[in-house]
């Protein structure tokens, strides 16, 4: 089986070592005997979403975010089509903002974005920096993440990815974080999130493989170090949430 991962704007949207998400995914897929092809794509490249099984975008500076948007917005209809057809998307950090209706900057200037979801982003004059602990509906363990954002999302959408247990949500005055629809997973959480959360990584690998072959026979996952790091962090920072 072959799986193609598109790493969009790898050179522009890679703050905080977020490319680790792609490396972790590649390693675990190859551990299951999958042939992985990674397409490193940036502005100037032609994007053909019909050729990708998984699309990844990470966090970037506001300047680089705008450069990526200028290129990606030409493909907004193709992005929507791919999402509706079941292509997997993992979007982390402020790249999530590109999938709403617009971004409103600190001078109230509006920049149109992809309009995939019914939210808009408001840039603030302060930063929100904190560790986060969240829960999802698709795996049992808590999910660890880190937020370092200068914007908030304001939304009418109901496609919520995580419930916030500790930390800051994506939406003001709420305890919800991220956006989820079909196989689209968008979150402000960085870390990288798949490296820090072995069960989430395993879930993503399984969902991706079984979308192509439902009766796939999985091998044992090699996540010893990842589980050790996760358990140590939980013990030191969130011991009250560890289930006996």
Provide CB contacts within 8 A for 54, sequence distance 6+. Answer: 3, 4, 5, 6, 25, 87, 88, 89, 90, 208
Which numeric CATH code is attached to 2-241?
Answer: 3.40.50.880
Following DSSP, what letter does each residue of 75-102 receive, concatenated?
A: GHHHHHHHHHTT-EEEEEGGGGGGGSSE
Q: Are 94 and 62 contacting, i.e. CB atoms less than 8 angstroms apart?
A: yes
d(C-alpha 9, C-alpha 122), whole Å: 23
Following DSSP, what letter does each residue of 22-71 receive, concatenated?
A: HHHHHHHHHHTT-EEEEEEE-TTSPP-GGG-SEEEE----HHHHHHHHHH
Per-residue pLDDT of the chain (244 residues; tens, 9 = 90+): 999 999 999 999 998 889 999 999 999 999 999 999 999 999 999 999 999 999 999 999 999 999 999 999 999 999 999 999 999 999 999 999 999 999 999 999 999 999 999 899 999 888 888 899 999 999 999 999 999 988 888 775 567 889 999 987 776 667 889 999 999 999 999 999 999 999 999 999 999 999 999 999 999 999 999 999 999 999 999 999 987 5
The DSSP output letter for 190 is: B
The DSSP output letter for 175 is: S
Q: Domain residue spans in the chain?
A: 2-241
């Amino acid at each position: 089986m072959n799986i193609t991962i598109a790493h969009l704007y790898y050179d522009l949207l890679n703050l905080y070592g977020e490319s680790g998400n792609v490396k972790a995914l590649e390693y675990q897929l190859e551990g299951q005997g999958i042939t992985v092809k990674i397409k490193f794509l940036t502005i100037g490249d032609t994007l053909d979403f019909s050729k990708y099984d998984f699309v990844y975008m990470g966090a970037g500076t506001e300047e680089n975010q705008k450069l990526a948007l200028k290129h990606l917005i030409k493909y907004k209809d193709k992005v929507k089509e791919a999402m509706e057809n079941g292509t997997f998307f993992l979007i982390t950090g402020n790249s999530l903002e590109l999938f709403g209706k617009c971004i409103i900057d600190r001078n109230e200037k509006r920049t149109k974005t992809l309009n995939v979801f019914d939210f808009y982003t408001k840039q603030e004059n302060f930063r929100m920096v904190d560790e986060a602990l969240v829960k999802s509906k698709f795996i049992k363990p808590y999910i660890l993440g880190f937020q370092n954002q200068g914007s908030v999302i304001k939304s009418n959408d109901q496609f919520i990815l995580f419930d916030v247990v500790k930390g800051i949500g994506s939406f003001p005055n709420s305890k919800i974080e991220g956006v989820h629809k079909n196989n689209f997973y968008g979150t402000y959480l960085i870390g990288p999130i798949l490296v820090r959360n072995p069960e989430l990584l395993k879930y993503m690998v399984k969902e991706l493989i079984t979308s192509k072959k439902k009766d796939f026979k999985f091998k044992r996952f090699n996540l010893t170090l990842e589980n050790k790091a996760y358990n140590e962090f939980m013990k030191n920072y969130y011991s009250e949430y560890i289930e006996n």
